[in-house]
Amino acid sequence: MGFGYTEHSHRHISIVSQRAGEILEKLGYEERKVELAKIAGYLHDIGNCVNRTDHAHSGAIIAYNILKEMGMPVEERTEIMMAIGNHDENTGTAVNEISAAIILADKSDVHRDRVTNRNLSTFDIHDRVNYAVTNADLKIDSKNRKVILDLTIDTKLCPVLDYFEIFMDRTMMSKYAAKYLKIWFELVINDTKLL
């Protein structure tokens, strides 16, 4: 299922869930915090069932109520609610470890597999940039306390500058999320370190 420019279905939420958990695990967080990050990652886009606009806030409320009905302790479901409610670059920021991990995981999922429009002749800049990304690896270097988003962009389809035109806010949000976790964020595109 696609909402807006890119898919937000099982593929995306599985990647975000896995990466968010991996970030906290490799940084030495306790097992339960890692599990909560995975849960938040899996639920982070649930608000899209209401509307793409303000999906982070409606999703936070929906997730909170689901987890309450399932019997999750209030402290844990509140942490997840805060993470989901703060993952959108237009309205959010890292407010706890889980939200920082969700932001890094979510913003790192740039890839041609997310493009729902299959007609190249009608691509807008979002379609073109996502489609041009043929590989997106998020690497966690716990020894050197950094996270690296390593992208391969097919520059025949899209110049690297177009990536920054639409993803600058997301890139800065990732930088601040990494800072919250007391690590450094690096962006590498086509083997060139840019941040």
Annotated domain spans of the chain: 2-193
Residue 62 has what pLDDT? 97
Whether the pLDDT of residue 162 is over 50: the answer is yes
The CATH classification number of 2-193 equals 1.10.3210
Radius of gyration over every alpha carbon of the chain, rounded to an integer in angstroms: 16
42-86 pLDDT, tens digit each: 999 999 889 888 999 999 999 999 999 999 999 999 999 999 999
Do residues 76 and 33 make contact, with C-beta atoms less than 8 angstroms apart?
A: no
Share of the chain above pLDDT 70, in %: 96
Residue 8: per-residue pLDDT: 61
Query: Could you identify the residue written with the tokens 């999320």?
Result: 177
Phi first, then psi, for residue 186 (nearest 5°) are -120, 140
For the residues 173-187, what does the mean pLDDT come to? 97
**Nearest partner of 25 among 14, 15, 33, 16, judged by Cα:** 33
Q: Is the pLDDT of residue 31 over 80?
A: yes
Mean pLDDT for 26-50 is: 96
- State how beta strands 146-153 and 184-189 pair: parallel
What is the per-residue pLDDT for 157?
Answer: 92
On whether the CB atoms of residues 174 and 107 are closer than 8 A, the answer is: yes
Q: Does the global pTM surpass 0.85?
A: yes
Q: For the ranges 3-12, 45-54, 129-138, which has the lowest average pLDDT?
A: 3-12
